[in-house]
Amino acid sequence: MAYKVLEGLYYSKSDEWVKVEGDVATVGITDYAQDKLGDVVYVEEAALNKKVKEGETVMTVESVKAASDIYAPVSGEIVEVNKNVVSDPSLLNKDPFGEGWLFKIKMENKDELNNLMSAKDYEEYRKE
């Protein structure tokens, strides 16, 4: 099955995507991740104003199959949380790159983006 991967985003090996606008990174999970999870039934609300380090667990998402940690792809402060996906977890399955975004981080170090993959690299990584 071919999973949707959007150009212009950054991707982590733990299946988060990152959209950068200025010094703010919007984070969500990939189409591959939501498909592997199955029907998402619970999304933990990320802690607003919390400082996180790259690779640190920010929140948990639960599906009928499994619970999965969501990691910070970059270091910074969580400046916004998507309350809609907390109240309607199915948004993660329906629209993982749109309404199903999870949180926004004000980045401390944009150089950390170099540790992430491009859309093309992520597609290759997921084929392996």
Predicted confidence (pLDDT) per residue in 37-47, tens digit: 999 999 999 99
pLDDT at 128: 77
Instruction: Please tell me the pTM assigned to this model.
Output: 0.96
| Residue pair 110/23 in contact by the 8 Å Cβ criterion | yes
Say how far apart CA 9 and CA 127 lie, in whole Å. 18
Residue 41 placed within a domain? yes
Q: What are phi and psi of 67, to 5 degrees?
A: -105, 145
Residue 2 placed within a domain? no
pLDDT at 98: 97
Please choose, from the candidates 6, 9, 7, 4, the residue with its C-alpha nearest in 3D space to the C-alpha of residue 113. 9
Predicted confidence (pLDDT) per residue in 69-100, tens digit: 999 999 999 999 999 999 999 999 999 999 99
Side chain identity, residue 30: T
Residue 128 placed within a domain? no
Side chain identity, residue 1: M
How many domains, the chain?
A: 1
Q: Can you give 21-43 as a three-state secondary structure string?
A: ECCEEEEEECHHHHHHHCCEEEE
Q: What are phi and psi of 32, to 5 degrees?
A: -55, -45
pLDDT at 1: 63
CATH of the domain at 51: 2.40.50.100
Predicted confidence (pLDDT) per residue in 23-73, tens digit: 999 999 999 999 999 999 999 999 999 999 999 999 999 999 999 999 999
Residue 119 placed within a domain? no
**Domain of 76, in residue numbers:** 10-108
